Amino acid sequence: MHCYPDYFPHRHSQDELDCVALLAQGVTADPARVFLHYENRAIRCDEAAREIARLQIWLANAGLEKGDRVAVMLGNSPEHIYLIYALVLSGIVWVPVNTRLRGAGLEYLLQHAEPSLFVTDQEFDAIAAQIDCGNARRVRIPDSDAHVEATALRTPAIDVHDPLCVIYTSGTTGAPKGVLFTHRMMRIASEAALMVADVRPGDRLFMWEPLCHIGGAQMLLLPFLAPVALHVVPRFSASQFWSQVTRANATQLHYLGGVLDILMQLPIDAQPREHALRVAWGAGVGAAAWHATQERLGVKLRECYGMTECSSFATLNATGKPGSIGKALPWFDLELLDENGQPVADGEPGEIVLTSKVQGALLPAYLKNEEATRAALRNGKLHTGDHARRDADGDLFFVGRRTDSMRVRGENVSAWEIERVFAGHPAVKASAAIGVATSVGEQDILLDVQFKDEAIDWHALNAWASERLASFQLPRYYRAVEQFELTASERVRKHLLSRDVGNAWDRLRH
């Protein structure tokens, strides 16, 4: 297979769909160019190049070599971005760590990824100090020194199919899986982001997404693919959103989870009458809310579907058909197959199965997980486990995620991870986490609990869990059950569990 330039309009004839040459040239070609804004701070390319080179030296002095791994648990900041750039250019594998992970979830990631360094800052020192980091040495980014002379960026020989990062995605019936995300996959994700967001020269992209999420990571190359700028804020804030967007004169908004729902629930006078936002792009707006969302927020919606394993994006709704995730991107062939591997008829749900015309667009493997790799990659096809239906026009409509995974505020949440934590409580015999509908975001979590003896106070159980789970993993609803119906292999028959929360304890109301 070849990388056809007509798929990627920002690729020139000698470009192998890489990140290293693009990034190195991007930060050095025009030193005075402002490519990044962090809140009220404008950052020029020459400042970024100096900081990247400094961090490359720091990594080398720490004994890091090409192929080594570095786990990074930091909030959004210019220093975090410089570190990511330095890792990419050095061929060192970046392991982004979700800043909301706690306890066993964080410990699992560090011990499974086996990074040489674990980079944190003061905000996460207490969390990191309470876990076993394996063989990783915990460090902080060294302070900048503006008096240090700029040095040349180091770019060792790095193949486009070498891993750029390991991104952990929640498992469905097992532990989280580490996607080996290559340099080419990141480049394709960035090229696709330009298409999905309908980016034009001079656009200003509002970036609130955490850098540990592919939604944020894929944005970092965009200023070097097109004449655009990133406007980065520490996190999404409903109360500050419109003032931040207005100050940035931002033209694009990426939505995850319940971001649009939250904005729709703000008082009408919290939104300015005029703003520069032109496009909101992401996933999760249903047909019923489509027109109202566009009218209220004054944007054009561009829905997409994707997953980390397929270089982030697989489909795009460029026509504006309400509720649709559109059609496959040009470098993908997409099939909807039934449980026997046969194509389904229009209107019938089928599993989304992808193949690509571009070598390296699909993940090469999951880190240290041959079984999961074999299950996902079969005969050159990526079996996503997600389901959609196709209408008579060929447009796709998303049906559902994997049966044992939930989508909560933009995060894929593994039921297995939640149940694993509750299994450690002395009063809990068994538990089962399932997703239930919510008014904001995709789903809330309902946890059915079977106690060993007497039930304990829900307040106490929730407080115990909040110290061990990320906020997006914490159940909203709790319900006691006498016993679970089990399969022959001792697994809970989750399809029999009620999703009616009328008799459940709601932590948001107590």
In 3D space, the residue among 216, 281, 270 whose CA is nearest the CA of residue 74 turns out to be 216
Average pLDDT of span 415-440: 87
Mean pLDDT of the chain: 92
Residue range 225-268, pLDDT digits in tens: 999 999 999 999 999 999 999 999 999 999 986 788 889 989 99
CATH topology of domain 407-506: GMP Synthetase; Chain A, domain 3 (3.30.300)
CATH topology of domain 18-389: Rossmann fold (3.40.50)
In 3D space, the residue among 408, 405, 363 whose CA is nearest the CA of residue 381 turns out to be 363
Beta strands in 200-283 (DSSP E): 204-207, 229-232, 252-255, 279-282
Confidence of residue 347 (pLDDT cuts 50, 70, 90): very high
* pLDDT recorded at residue 402: 59
Listing DSSP states for 384-438 in one string gives EEEEEEE-TTS-EEEEE--TTEEEETTEEEEHHHHHHHHTTSTTEEEEEEEEEE-
Inform me whether the pLDDT recorded for 161 exceeds 90: yes
Q: How far apart are CA 28 and CA 257, in angstroms?
A: 36
Average pLDDT of span 465-469: 94
Residue range 391-417, pLDDT digits in tens: 999 999 987 765 567 888 778 787 878
* pLDDT recorded at residue 170: 67
Token pair, residue 415, equals 């039921």
* pLDDT recorded at residue 176: 86
Domain boundaries, the chain: 18-389, 407-506
Residue range 126-145, pLDDT digits in tens: 899 899 998 999 999 998 87
Q: What is the reported pTM?
A: 0.86
Average pLDDT of span 264-286: 93
**Angle at 38 (CA atoms; ends 56, 180), nearest 5 degrees:** 50
Residue range 21-68, pLDDT digits in tens: 999 999 999 999 999 999 989 999 999 999 999 999 999 999 999 999
- What secondary structure letter does DSSP report for 280? E
338 touches 387 (CB < 8 A): no
Confidence of residue 6 (pLDDT cuts 50, 70, 90): confident
Residue range 167-213, pLDDT digits in tens: 998 654 567 899 999 999 999 999 999 999 999 999 999 999 999 98
* pLDDT recorded at residue 406: 81
Confidence of residue 4 (pLDDT cuts 50, 70, 90): low
Strand 204-207 and strand 229-232: pairing? parallel
Lowest mean pLDDT among 239-248, 340-349, 485-494: 485-494
* pLDDT recorded at residue 416: 77
Confidence of residue 1 (pLDDT cuts 50, 70, 90): very low
Strand 137-139 and strand 117-119: pairing? parallel
